[in-house]
A and B are shown apart, each in its own frame.
Chain A
Amino acid sequence: MREACIAEPISWLRLERHVLGPRDPGIDAHVEACAACRTCLAEIRGDLVVLRPLALPAPTRARRRWWLPAFGAGLAAAATLVALVVRRPVPAENVVAVKGGELVLGLIRARDGAISDDATTFRPGDRWKVVLTCPPGAVIGVRVEVFEVGGPSAAPDHPLADAPLVCGNRIALPGAFALTGTSPNRVCVRIDDEATACVTIRPER
């Protein structure tokens, strides 16, 4: 895509700092007159980046207790045994079997600059992104469908373009969308027109 700036373009770094704040009045004046730089600024503002979780290392302990690993392992084994006996596995709606393993659907919510990957509620203005975890290297066809539960239309919306996906760990689909209405929304991904994984997001009162 070719865009000509009216003068010297505002660098991406300056545009990013402008968005992070404080605002630079010189940039505001420039982008008002320059379509190329305005496009770049809009691209930054409209983009939703899903970062991988960053784990900070745990602080090291001064004293090491030699028996602690064995005790921990024993405790974990006992807990696993109890869980197996007591709890029957409940199939999660957001997990579906695909060739080579399983696919896990996740949603990322952006609200006023805050990113949340375990949100279950929406309100106007939130933006949502779909992330999928599936067997690395597999290529699947993905269609995103959004249903308003009990809404006027039974036909789903398709807020994102259908796209092939090269699988991996928490791969974000291109694009983002908003949820609307006063009823819960079911966000589903249909895989190769066969399996479907869904997540239900409820409106905030």
Chain B
Amino acid sequence: MEPVRDPQSAYRAYGPALVRKAERILRSREDAVDVVHALFVDLIPRWNRDMDLPYLYKSVTNRCLNAVRDRATRARLLEREGASVAPVARVRLEDHVVGLGLLAALVDRLDDGHLEVLVARFVDDLTQDEIADHLGLSRKTIGKRLDRIRDEVIALRGSEVAS
């Protein structure tokens, strides 16, 4: 894939892929379009050729996680989630589809590094090797983070059953 030299061309070329990615996390096309637009608006002044699709993918993950962290936005997205079409779930976490509900529950229990791995594995469906390459981390670190994520999900489910 040829590198895209300017933000306008990158927006046209990669924007749809990034919107689809954001929508898989936020479960709202409208919010996904806003996230991608805001990202490019912020990137224009510091645009460089290294901002390829994988880089933008990571940026969208961070933006979406920020949206989910914000309590007001989270409540609004969760309220609308029921109206959206259920996503295709090819990779599951402890037999759960990682949707907005689970992400919202985990966002206060995991740090940014773990949440990035969570999205990469269970939303973007990257393999552990691909995640390591994508995030510039060792495969061992990815494995450890996935173990911790699983532990948190089990703990979360345990607390739900207990309450």
Residues on A facing B (Cβ under 8 Å): 1-5, 8-14, 16-17, 19-22, 36-37, 39-40, 43-44, 47, 49-52, 54, 56-57, 115, 166, 168, 171-172, 174
Contacts and interface: CB of A to CB of B under 8 A. Distances in A.
Contacts of A49: 15-16, 19-20, 33
B112 interface: no
B57 A3 contact: no
Given A1-B86, A22-B1, A56-B8, A11 B33 contact: no
B103 to A, nearest CB: 16
Contact of B41 (A3, A22, A54): A54
Interface of B: 1, 7-8, 11-17, 19-21, 24, 29-30, 33-34, 36-37, 40-41, 44-45, 53-54, 57, 80, 86-91, 97, 124-127, 130, 134
B126 A3 contact: no
B44 A17 contact: no
Nearest to B41: A54
A172 B16 CA distance: 13
B19 A57 contact: no
Contacts of A172: 29-30, 33
20 contacts: A1-B87, A1-B88, A3-B88, A3-B89, A11-B130, A12-B21, A12-B24, A12-B124, A16-B17, A16-B20, A16-B53, A19-B17, A21-B1, A36-B88, A40-B90, A44-B17, A51-B19, A54-B11, A54-B37, A115-B12
Nearest to B131: A11
A11 B54 CA distance: 12
Contacts of A52: 33-34, 37
Please classify the interface of chain B as helix (H, G, I), strand (E, B), loop, or mixed, using the class held by over half of its residues. Answer: helix
A144 to B, nearest CB: 17
B53 to A, nearest CB: 6
Nearest to B121: A11
A37 B37 CA distance: 28
A4 B90 contact: yes
Contact of A11 (B12, B13, B14, B126): B126
Contacts of A13: 53-54, 57, 124, 126, 130, 134
A20 B13 contact: yes
Given A52-B33, A52-B34, A54-B37, 19 more contacts: A1-B86, A1-B87, A1-B88, A3-B89, A9-B125, A11-B125, A12-B20, A13-B124, A16-B21, A16-B53, A17-B53, A20-B13, A20-B14, A47-B16, A49-B16, A51-B16, A51-B19, A54-B44, A171-B30
